[in-house]
Amino acid sequence: MKKITLPLTDEVIRELHAGESVLITGSVITGRDAAHKRLYELIEQGRELPVKLDGEVIYYVGPAPAKPGHAVGPAGPTSSYRMDKYTPALLDRGLKGMIGKGARSQEVIDSMVKNGVVYFAAIGGAAALISRSIKSAEILAYEDLGTEAIYRFEVEDFPAIVVIDSYGESVLVK
């Protein structure tokens, strides 16, 4: 299986093709509905963001609480389409990769092609398994949102599949 190390370079992104299984190692940020809404509103107002997006990979996840001795609780992907409204603005700010599950809008795919971005799927519902590849979790922003806060995860051999590549090719069944 192909192993990739973050941060993603344009060269690595160009070599990722829809259908490939990968193991991801490195640092990702998290964010889902409520955090996306806040980031989008700040971008619209032309204000500074609490996290840097340039070159980052974002994982759409709201983890369960960690049991003592665990870095993080079960943490599988949430449905990506709910982020679609906000995504092109984030890609224009330099976000290079997204990890989620399910389909994306044509607007998102067009923006991915324009900005050279890759979309991975993790296996929805395999949350306890996936959490084993998350080695640490720290809150970066929006702590008040609880599970919806923006975290930084250090991941090691995180299992994912390239479902839409930077050329706009998709393996999701329509």
Where on the chain is the footprint of another protein (CB under 8 A)? 19, 21, 34, 61-67, 70, 73-76, 78-79, 81, 101-103, 121, 123-129, 131-132, 145-148, 159, 161, 163, 171-174
Shortest separation between residue 38's beta carbon and another protein, angstroms:
12
Of the pair 53, 58, the CB lying nearest another protein is at 58
Q: Is the dihedral of CA 94, 83, 102, 5 positive or negative?
A: positive
Of the pair 44, 143, the CB lying nearest another protein is at 143
Of the pair 56, 148, the CB lying nearest another protein is at 148
DSSP 3-56: EEESSPPHHHHHT--TT-EEEEEEEEEE--HHHHHHHHHHHHTTPPPSS--TT-
Q: Which two tokens stand for residue 137?
A: 């979790």
Shortest separation between residue 139's beta carbon and another protein, angstroms:
15
Of the pair 82, 152, the CB lying nearest another protein is at 82
Shortest separation between residue 42's beta carbon and another protein, angstroms:
18
Q: Is the dihedral of CA 119, 120, 124, 127 positive or negative?
A: negative
φ, ψ of residue 36 in degrees (nearest 5): -60, -45
Shortest separation between residue 7's beta carbon and another protein, angstroms:
25
Q: Which two tokens stand for residue 158?
A: 């995180």
Shortest separation between residue 167's beta carbon and another protein, angstroms:
18
Closest to 83 measured CA to CA, from 56, 63, 101, 110: 101
* Amino acid letter, 119: Y
Of the pair 53, 83, the CB lying nearest another protein is at 83
* Amino acid letter, 83: M
